[in-house]
């Protein structure tokens, strides 16, 4: 009689670990999952219940995760998980539109001044007399 009760308890614990691992895979962030993509881990845990659950806990689960499914902090005195920061492009910055850019008229004046300077330098090199700017 006790033999069957023990097997029932083992089966119940295996089912509980399997459900825990399914929820943990779903709740974990994609970038923190190790060794395989998140969807691959979900398929492994779903198809190979006991072996897949053990594999997830040993090889796929994010490092320093707590014991609640999808927990990102380190519980029980473990060090905290490094946070990932999103890289911002220049157009995502709040001050993107406020950057000081010269107007078209200012750029045209600077371009004209640079052109006149280059023409004067070229005339000096060629030995021509410098003519007054127009």
More confident residue, 121 or 132: 121
Whether pLDDT at 81 is above 60: no
Q: Above pLDDT 90, what percent of the chain?
A: 34
pLDDT in tens, 82-98: 566 677 777 777 777 66
| Token pair listed for 31 | 């970038």
Residue 75 binned pLDDT confidence (cut-offs 50, 70, 90): very low
């Amino acid at each position: 009689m006790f033999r069957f009760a023990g097997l029932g308890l083992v089966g119940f614990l295996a089912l509980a670990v399997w459900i825990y691992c399914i929820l943990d895979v779903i709740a974990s962030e994609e970038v923190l999952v190790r060794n395989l993509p998140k969807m691959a881990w979900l398929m492994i845990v779903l198809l190979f219940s006991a072996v897949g659950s053990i594999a997830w806990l040993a090889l796929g689960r994010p490092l320093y995760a707590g014991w609640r499914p999808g927990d990102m902090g380190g519980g029980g005195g473990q060090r905290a998980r490094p946070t990932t920061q999103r890289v911002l492009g220049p157009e995502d910055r709040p001050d993107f539109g406020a950057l000081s850019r010269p107007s078209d008229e200012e750029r045209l004046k600077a371009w004209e001044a640079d052109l006149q300077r280059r023409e004067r330098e070229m005339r000096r090199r060629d030995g021509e007399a410098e003519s007054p700017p127009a």
